[in-house]
Amino acid sequence: MDYQLTELQQNIKDLCEQIAEEKIKPVRAHYDETGEFPHEIMKVFAETGLFGLFIEEKYGGMGGGVMDLVIAVETLSKVCSGIALGLAATALGTYPIILFGNEEQKQKYLPRVASGTLAAFALTEPEAGSDAGGIRTTAVKEGDLYVLNGTKQWITNGGEADIYTVIALTNKAKGARGATAFIVEKGTPGFTFGKKENKMGIRASATRELIFQDCRVHQSQILGREGMGFMVAMRTLDQSRPGVAAQALGIAAGALEEAVAYSRKRRQFGKPINAFQGVSFMLADMATQTEAARALVYQTARAIDAGVKDVSKISAMAKLFASDTAMKVTTDAVQVFGGYGYMKEYPVEKMMRDAKITQIYEGTNQIQRDVIAICLAKESAAKGD
């Protein structure tokens, strides 16, 4: 399908294909096996300007939008979604600054991200996952400072990033409506990291706890205003979910490509296995589902870039559909490979493990369905039906 990519998007796609083939493919199994963080690849992303993709030119970026990032994340994720996540999670951690930062904050942080400093977004806590309003981390005002106490959990790029957007309660009594977003830098006294998680998939990405113990942050680090934190988080997720969708799309597209190629070469009963309808129909469904996901993800990204106001519904739909597709397509890809698919010599078992998280993080797919259903009811009520 011709999606009429702009010249910038085509260049990004070509660049990411090259990085994926030459730099990532040879090392993806190593990082998956060891769970080490791929600093060498982050350096390549930085040197080629990929961290500046979604940042305005005046702050040292390429001036691209969500669609440009989607193209990069999809293309890199075809080969290794765990490594691609270093970039996607940096975008997630930076969106609050792009969307809600004042000029001073943008000047201070965006050029750093554009030149390769990793960022992270910290909302989730041990007791607050789907129920994001249930966070307990507090930020108590003390003169010009806020004193942060609490723990954030499962933070992608945790420990590796230098810049963190942290959502904390400045007014406990108000719950979600008393939350505030802060930019907190690594190295701030009272800010430490817990253990690195040992995960099923996306093992090249770093997932850690963030621990705040009397961590003092200046009031100039607040994004937006006090009390706007939940809104900052929700608007950020509306903007970032197409990125997870693109990661899922890339995983599906990668698994599809592997399965088609394998099915042409693998012979059983004297024929290549794609000559059997049981396999060829499976491949046809995988290709159709992947293309449908791509159309939805691209259209959503373009709508956000075009400035469409309320993107909660389509953003949730893109994340939901692409991640369910990734799980289905990778599971079927393993099936096409048969016994070999279950072995680590072939990449599809990794893709199947990697796909699972896309149905869980940045809002479980149950939460996405909730968001979509709430939007449907609101739209119907607004029409007076």
Sequence length of the chain is 385
By beta-carbon proximity to ligand COS, the closer residue of 38 and 363 is 363
Residue 371's alpha-carbon distances to 218, 237, 319, 320, in angstroms, are 34, 12, 11, 11
Long-range contacts of 359-364 (CB under 8 A, 24+ apart): 359/323, 359/324, 359/326, 359/327, 361/154, 361/156, 361/244, 362/92, 362/237, 362/240, 362/241, 362/244, 362/319, 363/130, 363/237, 363/241, 363/316, 363/319, 364/129, 364/130
Give CA–CA dist 133/6, Å, rounded.
39
Q: Is 142 a catalytic residue?
A: no
Interface with ligand COS in residues 106-135 (CB under 6 A):
121, 123-124, 130-133
Minimum distance of ligand COS from residue 339's CB (angstroms):
36
By beta-carbon proximity to ligand COS, the closer residue of 238 and 332 is 238
Do 26 and 37 touch, CB atoms closer than 8 A? no
Minimum distance of ligand COS from residue 134's CB (angstroms):
8
371 contributes a contact to ligand COS by CB under 6 A: yes
In the complex, residue closest to ligand COS by CB = 363
Interface with ligand COS in residues 18-47 (CB under 6 A):
none
Q: 197: which DSSP letter? A: P
177 contributes a contact to ligand COS by CB under 6 A: yes
Beta bridge partners of 120: 164
312 contributes a contact to ligand COS by CB under 6 A: yes
367 contributes a contact to ligand COS by CB under 6 A: yes
231 contributes a contact to ligand COS by CB under 6 A: yes
Judged by CB under 6 A, the stretch of 78-86, 143-151, 246-254, 358-366 that binds ligand COS is 358-366
Minimum distance of ligand COS from residue 177's CB (angstroms):
5
Tell which one of 197, 209, 238, 354 touches ligand COS (CB under 6 A). Answer: 238
Do 301 and 70 touch, CB atoms closer than 8 A? yes
Minimum distance of ligand COS from residue 44's CB (angstroms):
25
R_g over Cα of the chain: 21
Give CA–CA dist 253/250, Å, rounded.
5
**191-196 vs 207-218, strand pairing mode:** antiparallel
By beta-carbon proximity to ligand COS, the closer residue of 73 and 367 is 367
176 contributes a contact to ligand COS by CB under 6 A: yes
Q: Which of 36, 142, 362, 379 is catalytic?
A: 362
Report the interface residues with ligand COS, using CB under 6 A.
Answer: 121, 123-124, 130-133, 176-177, 230-231, 234-235, 237-238, 312, 361-363, 367, 370-371
Which residues are marked as active site?
362
